[in-house]
């Protein structure tokens, strides 16, 4: 089921999400609904608070390398990978950071330039309760950092002073909103 995405100033967006104690059928349904909602938006990530649920659950779907401007245009596109994580956290990250433009489904029509870690190791539980650990880099690392920020009540606008309204020529970049 596609859920309504909470937009600013929705109070749930500023609250710290609660850890999930047990992966119940309700959590499984939440994950399924979040995936459907993220895809319909369209976006590349979604956190439970963005659909009004103050629990530590995120979904991310992204094809690694799809934002690489140097990629061979003749190369077959890689299919996107779907991640659903419960109680995710960043356990390690690089010292190096990168500036990049981000949008957010909870702040439609706005983007900002955000400094994020270049690499990040994310751990948590998968949707079946099994331990999950992933070393991420580049745009995928950025997406995970953005979504985990949501679980802590942090929005991308809190990390920058450079925010702008999306112009029509930025529509493609905005379509990869996290």
Six token digits for residue 125: 């539980």
| DSSP-assigned beta bridge partners for residue 48 | none
74 is catalytic: no
Q: Cα separation of 176 and 61, whole Å?
A: 10
Among 117, 114, 111, 122, smallest CA distance to 176 is for 111
pLDDT in tens, 39-48: 999 999 999 9
Q: Determine the pLDDT at residue 44.
A: 97
Report the CATH superfamily, name and number, of domain 11-174. Peptide deformylase (3.90.45.10)
Assess whether pLDDT exceeds 50 at residue 81. Answer: yes
Marked catalytic residue, from 61, 102, 147, 176 = 147
Instruction: Kindly list the domain boundaries of the chain, sorted by start residue.
Output: 11-174
Q: Determine the pLDDT at residue 77.
A: 72
Mapping DSSP to helix (H, G, I), strand (E, B) and coil, where does residue 100 land? strand
Contact 136, 119 (CB under 8 A): yes
């Amino acid at each position: 089921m596609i859920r309504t995405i909470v937009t600013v100033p929705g109070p749930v967006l500023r609250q710290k999400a609660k850890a999930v104690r047990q992966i119940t059928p309700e959590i499984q349904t939440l994950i399924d609904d979040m995936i459907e909602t993220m895809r319909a938006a369209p976006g590349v990530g979604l956190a439970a608070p963005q659909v009004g649920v103050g629990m530590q659950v995120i979904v991310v779907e992204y094809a690694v390398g799809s934002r690489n401007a140097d990629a061979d245009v003749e190369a077959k596109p890689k299919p996107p990978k779907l991640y659903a994580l419960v109680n995710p956290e960043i356990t390690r990250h690089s010292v190096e950071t990168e500036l990049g433009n981000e949008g957010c489904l909870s702040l439609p029509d706005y983007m900002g330039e955000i400094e994020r870690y270049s690499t990040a190791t994310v751990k948590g539980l998968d949707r079946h309760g099994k331990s999950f650990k992933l070393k991420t880099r580049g745009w995928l690392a950025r997406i995970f950092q953005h979504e985990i920020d949501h679980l802590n009540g942090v929005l991308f606008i809190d990390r920058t002073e450079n925010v702008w309204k999306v112009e029509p020529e930025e529509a493609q970049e905005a379509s990869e909103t996290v």
